[in-house]
Amino acid sequence: MNTPAQPAVSAGPAPDTATARATATELEIRFPGGPVLLRPASLTVEAGRITALTGASGSGKTTLLRALLGHLPEGAAVTGGTLTVLGHDPMTLGPEELARLRRTRLAYVGQDPGSALNPRMKVRDLVAETAPGRPDRAAVLELLREVRLPADGGLPERRPTALSGGQQRRVALARALAREPDILLLDEPTAGLDEALREEMADLLRRLVAGHDLAIVMACHDPELVAACADHTVHLTAPTAPASGTTARRAGPEPTAPHENATCAEGLAARAVHVSYRHRGQTQQALTGVDFTARPGSRTAIVGPSGSGKTTLLRVLAGLHRADAAVLTLDGASLAYTARKRPSTHQRRIQLVPQNPLDALNPSRTVGAQLDRPLRLHTALGARARSVRTGELLQQVGLPADFTSRYPTELSGGQRQRVSIARALATGPDILLCDEITSALDPETATSVMDLLARLNGEQGMTLVLVSHELHLVTAYTDTVHLLDEGRLVAHGPTRELLPGG
């Protein structure tokens, strides 16, 4: 149901419009005749200042960033207000002028930075690619150090697929800085980073605006980052009221014991997992002898610093990354290394929600079509029953049923993540592998999604395996935890013993 339009709320000292690098005044964006993407919003962007865009998932934070870049979703249009970026209205520039502006004066790091990195290129070449001229190796390594990435140890020679999500994000930031922009646009800059790196990010952004004469605009769900480094905050409100189907709670439910049917079964297990990457004839270990167990009906977390191997382990369990060596079992039976060699029952029972929802969603197909496909493959439902079930799945994750007609590019990052979760739930899995699924969600929506998964765990005995840097969610929603560091399992046991403070 539509709610009355309200202006965006600003906080912090008022910026000086006379020295602004970008301004938006009562800017409204929507699909003509369709949904509103951004309610009327105003902001002023100045050099040496960080502007934070806050608000619930779907409130238009990413849309506003893309408007500043002159790159709205296909079919979307400015339907009210004005926008000026570095002396231009990006919506009226020709293709060549807009491309020149983006190449020389604007830089954007999206919510899914890994999807923008060429998987065939090495890190050092990815960073050098965007710089004016051809920077020498020393300049590239200095940029990597500036974003807190090691310049030695082989990382500059790796390809994106050999990096963690947090490392990919920092490589994308280094690429953006190499461009020497006037305005840096960041979409959820701390998503996928561990607590220590999130704290470093605030200091890094403050140093960047001072040392590079930058203006930074960031869309952010991280209130601690906003408080630590933002000079000015613009709070956006969602165009529609929250859909029914989930109820957010302030604290997570008490983790329960494994489901009563789990007493005689082993669940999902991995023994002595070894994964390595090769670069210039050298072998680098991503996982070394890691053991993992998730009993049926349990809620198990995998935590550790960025780059410790959490996502690699999850992809091994999902059959999406072949281990060099391992013993994988499901309820005591052998589990094939790769998903394509697993029987359909195993494929249905184990589902992955990836850190980047675009890894699971086809941008050329509607949300409804993408939820319908697993229902056709893994259930006996007829067309009408599948249509009803699709609407139910969307409502389960807090999205309106009429989202079935939308495409992924018409959704915010948080909305795409919830569609990705709904797609994984469509098969009725026994085991749900979740890779940083709350990193793109606002705190209320994150709690709502975790409440949903906890309810499915309690009512249906669905096993949850959660990779997360959000330790307060880990302690609230899991009963056991695996701690990884530098590709090794350093501890495994009850969550409240190993992470007592959250």
pLDDT tens for each residue of 109-144: 987 787 788 888 999 999 999 888 777 888 899 999
The 3-state DSSP composition of the chain as helix, strand, coil percent (nearest 5) reads: 35, 25, 40
Edge-to-edge, what's the strand order for the sheet holding 325-330?
Answer: 282-294, 268-279, 325-330, 333-334
Three-class SS of residue 358?
helix
The closest of 421, 416, 412 to 450, measured between CA atoms, is 421
Q: How confident is the model at residue 417 (pLDDT cuts 50, 70, 90)?
A: confident
- What is the arithmetic mean of pLDDT over 42-47? 94
Contacts of 59 (CB under 8 A, 6+ apart): 39, 236, 237, 238, 239, 412
The answer, yes or no, to whether residue 343 has pLDDT greater than 60, is yes
Asked whether residue 245 carries a pLDDT value surpassing 60, the answer given is no
Q: Given pLDDT bands bounded at 50, 70 and 90, which one contains residue 97?
A: very high
Q: Edge-to-edge strands of the sheet including 20-30? A: 36-46, 20-30, 77-85
Is the pLDDT confidence value at 48 over 70? yes
What is the predicted pLDDT for the residue at 501? 66
- Of 193-207, 270-284, 368-382, highest mean pLDDT: 368-382
Q: Which two tokens stand for residue 247?
A: 């109820």
Q: Is the pLDDT of residue 87 over 50?
A: yes
Comparing 74-83, 111-120, 398-407, which segment has the lowest mean pLDDT? 111-120
Over 60: is that where the pLDDT of 167 sits? yes
pLDDT band at 382 (very low <50, low <70, confident <90, very high): very high
Domains plus CATH for the chain? 9-235 (3.40.50.300), 297-320+339-498 (3.40.50.300)
What mean pLDDT do residues 379-385 have? 92
Does residue 154 register a pLDDT over 90?
no
Over residues 332-347, the mean pLDDT reads 92
The confidence score (pLDDT) of residue 259 equals: 45
**pLDDT confidence of residue 64:** 95
Q: What is the pLDDT of residue 2?
A: 43
| pLDDT for position 29 | 94
Residue 247 has pLDDT above 50, yes or no: no
Quick: pLDDT tens for 188-198.
888 767 777 77
Q: Assess contact for 49 and 15: CB atoms under 8 A.
A: yes
Q: How confident is the model at residue 33 (pLDDT cuts 50, 70, 90)?
A: confident
Q: Is the pLDDT of residue 10 over 70?
A: no
- In this structure, the number of other CB atoms found within 10 A of the CB of residue 462 comes to 23
Q: Note the pLDDT of residue 327.
A: 93
Structural contact between residues 8 and 234, judged by C-beta atoms closer than 8 angstroms: yes
The DSSP output letter for 365 is S
Give dist(CA 211, CA 205) in Å, integer.
Answer: 10
As a dihedral over the C-alpha atoms of residue 200, residue 53, residue 31, residue 420, rounded to 10 degrees, the angle is 40
pLDDT, average across residues 383-397: 93
- Residues 341-347 have a mean pLDDT of 92
**pLDDT score for 279:** 62
Per-residue pLDDT tens digits for 198-213: 788 888 899 888 888 8
Q: What is the mean pLDDT of residues 484-498?
A: 91
Lowest average pLDDT, out of 26-40, 49-63, 259-273, goes to: 259-273
Q: What is the pTM of this model?
A: 0.67
pLDDT at 133: 78
Q: Which ranges constitute the DSSP H helices of 86-151?
A: 95-104, 123-129, 137-146
pLDDT at 5 > cutoff 70: no
pLDDT at 11 over 70: no
User: Residue 280 has what pLDDT?
Assistant: 62
In this predicted structure, what is the pLDDT of residue 310?
Answer: 93
Least confident of 95-109, 261-275, 305-319, 411-425: 261-275
pLDDT surpasses 80 at 255:
no
Question: Residue range 15-19: average pLDDT?
Answer: 59
- Tell me the per-residue pLDDT of 283-327, one tens digit each, with 9 for 90 and over: 788 999 999 999 999 999 999 988 899 999 999 999 999 999 999
Mean pLDDT, residues 421-438 = 93
pLDDT at 177 > cutoff 60: yes
Q: Output the pLDDT for position 243.
A: 39
Q: What is the mean pLDDT of residues 381-387?
A: 93
